[in-house]
Amino acid sequence: MLLLGASGAGKSTLISALAGVLGSSDEGEERGSLLVGGARPADARGRVGLLLQDPDSQVMLARVGDDVAFGCENLGVPRDEIWRRVGDALDAVGLHLPLSHPTSSLSGGQKQRLALAGVLAMQPQLLLLDEPTANLDPRGVVEVRDAVARVLEHSQATFVVIEHRVAIWQHLVNRVVVLAPGGGVLADGPPDDVLRTRGAALAAAGVWVPGHPPSRPLRAPRGAAAPAATPAAAPYAAPGGPADTAAPAATPHAPIRVSRLESDELNSASPLGSDRPHGAEPPLGVSGVGSAPLRAGGNRTGAAPLLIARDLAVARVKGTTVATGLTLDIEAGRATVITGPNGAGKSTLALTLAGLLAPAGDTPARTHPAGGQRGASDTPARTRLSGRAAAQPAGRALTASDAFAAGAGPHPIRWKSRELLTRIGTVFQDPEHQFLASTLRSELAVGPRALRLPQPQIDARVDELLDRLRLRALAEANPFTLSGGEKRRLSVATVLATRPGLLVLDEPTFGQDARTWAELVALLAELLDEGTALVAVTHDAEFVDALADAEFRMPGSLNRDGAV
């Protein structure tokens, strides 16, 4: 059974109630009755298995085998029986690892499968999954979905899943229940029937329904920003494309629903529509180096890039470099997406570009002009080898153009925290990491206040953002009490309050419902059209389709890279 409903309809509350983990009467009100297999859920523990959203908070013990055994121990299963069940459960979820394997080294998808095995070992009659794939990359989603499918084939258990993205589970369930916001059941029936009759309404409420894609913004034609643009070079100026008709209009667009046909045309006309053939070039260059169509795009604007990375090496923790030989330009009004497998260093690169992490092997500041280094770094094989040497010669690593730095120096990592505000804004993967204040209003004012803007101006900016991101009604709420989608909108709003020239986003669409997704993409498109540069780390193919002007694919793990 697939449980659907708008945000706040009570899906998670229902599932927690079924699992008997809703807490006691002093933590909330309880009315009506709920019986699981004829017993109260709190007494039916063990008969009900629950899998939650966050992979990190579901691993309890240090070793794979012990973690799976944990539930059985609590149920008082005899020792021999426990280890037999542990083996079966790990087989069922396809996790073929030694029992002593450390749980800390598992990927997100593996952790979720481990948690699923732990639940299965308890042999529940009712299996509850609360958005089990929301925090996973596409590969992890498939891993978990397939594991559940395999389990259902061999089990008689009743299966209930909550999920925003219908397509993942559509073919595994034989019943869909839609909860109404405010109480009650809106629809209940076979998947095809419910999705046919309720599809549009569900999509409007934020559910990802196949055949009802969220609306996508129409970007202003790229040429509009630069007077010297030649239509032939603009990637979107395909015959019949919107660029022909809309060229003079540089006004930001409100979100407009693009018909499937139009957006397909857009995609095929953009350099991202297909896997770009790089020729002999290893998969590193984005704009500028190594990819002809994008370089043409880069020259088109006529302005120098805001940031230039040349053979950059990045490290999250000093001394452990996660990626090397990264070469890319960040330009005003263009969206660069960073893609690649887990652990390739995408986030680390983004945080380095954002001036928050020092490039690996950084040396004291040296002034070198932003231009004039292109030729020097075009031999990746040579530079990559020396890139790992302790000292980093001038001309590599990360430099900001003089115009972008505006007097703060060429190295973003050496900018003061306050200087970063108007230049680079960073939206973190976990919004909770960046919240500082106790109300939304004061949260939004943190940046402008750090800039020492006059109070009336701060108020004006905060009010504008509250309206623009539909947060007005929550102005006095605590940021931590918001829903996932609201937190994401707030984290973007806090960054916009200081109007940075470059926006860096780490997985901005992770776990977001379709409505928040559409709003976010529309907002970002608007900012791009106004000339803001954008860097986004993402796994989200639709996000890439909708916004990206350039895609930077991470070269992969360092080992593979080092073998070049």
Partner 1 sequence: MSILTPLRGPQAVYALNPVAKLAAALLLSLTLVLSIDWVSAGVALALETVLFFWAGLGLRVFFLRTLPVLIAAPAAALTTVLYGRPAGQTYFQFALINVTDGSFELAFATLLRVLAIGLPAVVLFVTIDPTDLADGLAQVLHLPSRFVLGALAALRLVGLFLDDWRSLELARRARGVGDSGRIRRFASQGFALLVLSIRRGSKLATAMEARGFGSSIARTYARASVIGWREGVLVGLAIVVALVAVTVSVSTGHWNFIGSQG
| Residues engaged in binding partner 1 (CB under 8 A) | 16, 19, 21, 45-46, 48-50, 52, 54, 56-63, 65-66, 69-79, 82-83, 86, 102-104, 115, 118-119, 122, 316-317, 351, 354, 356-357, 416-418, 420-421, 424-426, 428, 430, 432-436, 446-447, 450-451, 480, 494-495, 498
Q: Which residue, 36 or 286, has its beta carbon nearer to partner 1?
A: 36
Least separation in angstroms between residue 316's CB and partner 1 is: 8
Least separation in angstroms between residue 321's CB and partner 1 is: 16
Q: Which residue, 72 or 229, has its beta carbon nearer to partner 1?
A: 72
Q: Which residue, 418 or 472, has its beta carbon nearer to partner 1?
A: 418
Q: Which amino acid is at 215?
A: S
Please, what's the b/e burial string for 108-146 (b: 16 or more CB within 10 A of its CB; e: otherwise)? bbbbbbbbbbbbbbbbbebbbbbbbbbbbbeebbebbbe
How far apart CA 210 and CA 429 sit, in angstroms, is: 26
Least separation in angstroms between residue 60's CB and partner 1 is: 5
- 215, 518 in Cβ contact below 8 A? yes
How far apart CA 345 and CA 342 sit, in angstroms, is: 8
Least separation in angstroms between residue 41's CB and partner 1 is: 11
Q: Which residue, 209 or 445, has its beta carbon nearer to partner 1?
A: 445
Which stretches of 323-397 are DSSP H helices? Answer: 346-353, 380-387
Furthest-apart CA atoms within the chain: distance in Å? 78
Q: Which residue, 79 or 196, has its beta carbon nearer to partner 1?
A: 79
How far apart CA 138 and CA 133 sit, in angstroms, is: 9
Least separation in angstroms between residue 126's CB and partner 1 is: 12
Q: Which residue, 19 or 225, has its beta carbon nearer to partner 1?
A: 19
Q: Which residue, 66 or 146, has its beta carbon nearer to partner 1?
A: 66
How far apart CA 533 and CA 353 sit, in angstroms, is: 12
How far apart CA 104 and CA 89 sit, in angstroms, is: 19
**H or E stretch including 155?**
none
Query: Is the Cα torsion angle 508, 54, 110, 159 positive or negative in sign?
Result: negative
Least separation in angstroms between residue 46's CB and partner 1 is: 5
How far apart CA 99 and CA 122 sit, in angstroms, is: 17
